[in-house]
Structure 1
Amino acid sequence: MRANLASAIGVACTAALVIPLSLPAAAQAATSDAPDGARHTAVTAPADPSAATAPAADPADRAAVPGSTQSLPLVGLRADQTTGAPQQGLSQREVQPFSLLGVVWEDPATALDGAVQVRTRAASTGTWSEWQDLETHNEAHGADASTAEGAAGGLRGSTAPLWVGPSDGVEVRVRAEAPRAGSSAAPLPRGLRVDLVDPGADPAPTATPPTDTTPGSGADTAADSPVTSGALTAEESAASAVNAEHAPLGALEIPELSKADTDALYAEEAAELSEQAGEVPAAKPYVGPRPGIVTRKGWGADESMREKNFVYTKSVQAAFVHHSATGNNYTCQQAPSVLRGIYRYHVKSSGWRDFGYNFAVDKCGKIYEGRAGGVAKAVLGAHTLGFNSNSMGVVVLGTYGSSTPPAAAVDGVAKITAWKLGLYGKNPSGSVTLTSGGSNLYKKGVKVKLNVISGHRDGFSTECPGARLYDRLGTARSTAARLQGR
């Protein structure tokens, strides 16, 4: 069965929206104009579990949601004796187990100018770590202010989260930036607290995949995909159904395809997408081979946390590469836990609608589905303030300011961008012009020429994705272009 990618991607540039076969026909769509003329579409997921083709979980199963967040308010400390800068913190204390933490405050428009440091106690040994720094300028990420997500009342300011591994003790200190000569020190943001995130347990063991070959089942293109052994909630069914062209409902992973199989599957559809984007269709299908992608179900996303709707932008014209700034002290086996921790922090602590990035890559090069809505679709993310429309965000798990990213991670970036950008007719080695939605580098409405594969710092003044990863983007571009057959 040949999948119809134009239907699978559901580009939201007209009033009509094609809904995947696994979603009910009664699903509703609402559109609004984006700052750059693109149209963002919010698609309502099925509210009735019977609308999906998998059994629904009973209420007891839905109540057993893994993971938790502890919020501890910071208290005032004596001002810095040298500079007079105000300080807040938390003395050493025992807490419930957690693995990731960050500092949060009330007003997202207020910057935390200063330093945030933490120490944690390893649950396995009882040993306290050295002081570790948190990235304080996390406002470079997030939704554009003109979107519903960016204007939501529940948004909060936050540092980047830090992965510390299983821990049961914490100490925090926050020091405002030293005052300049002749001026007083700026106050710290109101409502400072530290959020300690337990990412919960890994997903349950897998079961034998279904043999259903009806249209939209995905069984013909993903016969070897492992699927969940348990029942699916309505939210899980909706998040999985949007990938029905690539894997069975409840699949834990979307299998990779060879270049030949990818070309055969996407040749006509890629040309159609180029035509919809107003471009001349390529003479041949410049689409990289579809890489293996761990689904949200595969890494254990709690679908009840996110907002129900999926929001789409018009197209995918560029990819912005990030590092998570969560540190490099994780194993590849822990990557799903890191993702669940970041996801919970984005939603519960920062107030975002979902995981911010469209895709994640771990240090071993494994690729993960990020924000819900479909891996082939133009899902609107919250990753590059001012340039979320018509782009996608790819985050490499780790911190790469002074650490060199593993070659496998750079290769993972190349693989996912070669495939996804190819679906929209984009050359990874080329350039593109995007309209800024407003950032600290480019005012709203300014047209900016960027590399099709850019670093976060190209659209916003930030250290992200770290100097060492940024230096490897040239390799990612050339590898992605080669994978496309250019």
Structure 2
Amino acid sequence: MRGYIASSIGVTCATVLSLSIPLPAAAAGPGVHRPSVVRPLTEAVPGSTQSLPLVPLNPDRVAGTASEAGLAPQSVRSFSLVGVVWDDPGTELYGHVQIRTRASGTDQWSDWQEVETHNQGHGPDPASDEGRSYRMRGSTAPLWVGESDGVEVRVRAEADHTGGTRAPTLPDGLRVELVDPGAEPPSDVGAPSSQDDSVQRSEEGAYASETGAGAIASAVGAGLAPLNAAVLPALSKEAAKDVAAKQTGNVLGGLPVGAQPYVAPRPSIITRSGWGADESLREAGFVYTGSVKAAFVHHTASGNNYTCSQAPSVIRSIYRYHVVSSGWRDIGYNFLIDKCGNIYEGRAGGVDKPVMGAHTLGFNTNSTGIAVLGTYTSTEPSAAAVNAVAALTAWKFGLSGIDPRGTTYLTSGGGNLYPKGVNVRLNVISGHRDGFATECPGKLLYGKLGSARSTAARLQGR
């Protein structure tokens, strides 16, 4: 059983804002937990999760195991995203998970849809406090199905791909998780529409002191942004340079003394408030690593059947699935991008900070995780999404002088591709599959990373 060490600062119902004010040098090191800002919820906690056990269909009377399980068609409360979880996070589900759903208020059932089962490479590193949490579960990728009120599930085991001789069996404790994302944020903290992928609103950064005094200040200075606004505004290269100059020290850490930063324009970033994060769900504190040296690009494998106006609902659902169903401390990705090129703040702690995510097993330290909403094994990612990856990485790496076309070294925390302790040379902009043996981010999105690197370098003025 994995032990659990929480960052128990005693802060609940908290919110974290996109840019945080500079931390004292002694407080900015690896593994430091900072509390979040206390902000009472002004409306009912949005969303819900229904967790329904799957029934073995052919139990082995001797071994007590089963190779097939499922859930008969039934009516349930409204949900929009679905996934399957099981007890032991160290056990992989070798097999197929298929789900069909009924659209809310109708008698129309979908075709059977395949859920991505090989999801083990997403998540916290096993040696981290988060990875040792007793709340952790094994999980499939989540699947976005739209508003539904009926579900049917079937799971079938297959042989172990590692060359073992064991009979096909399923993990213990299989459950289907039905996630309702809840209502959209209030109109003054609204979500973007499919007609507008460059909303120009703003955001102020803040953090609470360890004493709970709740010191709040603007990260960008000069009253550029109101507290809790929906979007951190886009900035020109010169404006981004001015913001960097007002902060004490290098926000990313790692700029050598005397080196020239290659500051890029800052793209607009929809904040956690903007997509409607329920801050009472996640663990209150944050964990920072030394610096951000690489970005791993992912796809969420949640399907492409969403509109850009639905993207905040998809993200709220993934957030709830990661925290409530899978047992992670927060959403795993540091950033998310939809098909219209909107960029969203992911894991709390500050978009300008080296926040430890749970996105690339073995390489969550000194990296950032960027997930494009959708599945890109056989579907081309939009040009807007690829350009957003480039814009985000250009800004994120530019302040620390990192060339997006370059390579870097990260030490593996353990995985199925590199053993723990191995120093691995990686592209600064890598795909998930470069650090873990997986199809993620899908063949067609992975094939666009070269273009993203070149565009990011151009945005930095290289």
Q: Which residue number corresponds to residue 35 of structure 2?
A: 44
Q: Is the 8 A contact 2:85 2:140 kept in 1?
A: yes
Shift in CA distance, 182/259, structure 1 to aligned 2, threshold 3 Å: closer
**Which residue of 165, 168, 177 corresponds with 1:186?**
168
Equivalent residue of 1:426, what SS?
A: coil
Match of 2:254 among 272, 277, 282: 277
State the Cα distance separating 1:247 from its structure 2 match.
Answer: 3.4
User: Structure 2 matches for 1:205-220, cutoff 5 A?
Assistant: 205-206=187-188
Shift of 1:280: 5.1
Tell me which stretches of 4 or more aligned residues in structure 1 moved more than 4 Å. Answer: 178-184, 237-246, 267-274
In structure 2, relative to structure 1, the CA distance for the partners of 1:182 and 1:151 (3 Å cut) is closer
Q: CA RMSD in A?
A: 3.1
Deviations 1:373-410 (A, max 9, x none): 01111111000011100110000000000100000000
Count of matched residue positions in the alignment of Structure 1 and Structure 2 = 424
Q: Distance in 2 between matches of 1:310 and 1:131?
A: 39
- 1:254 equivalent to 2:229? Answer no
Letter in 1 for 2:237: K
What are the within-5 Å matches in structure 2 for residues 30-429 of structure 1? 39-46=30-37, 49=38, 57=40, 61=42, 64-78=44-58, 86-178=67-159, 183=165, 185-206=167-188, 225=201, 247-266=225-244, 272=250, 277=254, 279=256, 281-283=258-260, 285-429=261-405
**Which has the larger share of helix?**
1
1:45 deviates by 2.7
Amino acid aligned to 1:205: S
Aligned residue number for residue 430 of structure 1: 406
What stretches of structure 2 of length at least 5 have no aligned partner? 1-18, 191-199
Q: Which runs of 5+ in 1 are unaligned?
A: 1-5, 19-30, 32-38, 50-55, 209-223
Q: Which residue of 1 aligns with 2:194?
A: none
- 1:24 counterpart residue number: none
Distance across 2 between alignment mates of 1:179 and 1:17: 45
Give 1:165 shift. Answer: 0.3
1:44 counterpart letter in structure 2: P
Distance in 2 (CA, whole Å) between partners of 1:418 and 1:91 is 49
Q: CA deviation at 1:250?
A: 1.0
Question: 1:279 Cα deviation (Å)?
Answer: 2.8
| In 1: Cα distance, 2:225 partner to 2:247 partner | 18
C-alpha distance after superposition, 1:279-309 (max 9, x if no partner)? 35433x3121010000000000000000010
- Residue identity matched to 2:96: A
Superposition TM-score, scaled by structure 1 size: 0.81
What is the alpha-carbon distance in structure 1 between the residues aligned to residue 396 and residue 426 of structure 2?
18
Distance across 1 between alignment mates of 2:354 and 2:160: 45
CA shift for structure 1 position 207: 7.7
Separation in structure 2 between the aligned mates of residue 207 and residue 101 of structure 1, nearest angstrom: 26
Q: Answer yes or no: is the 8 Å Cα contact 1:95–1:168 preserved in 2.
A: yes
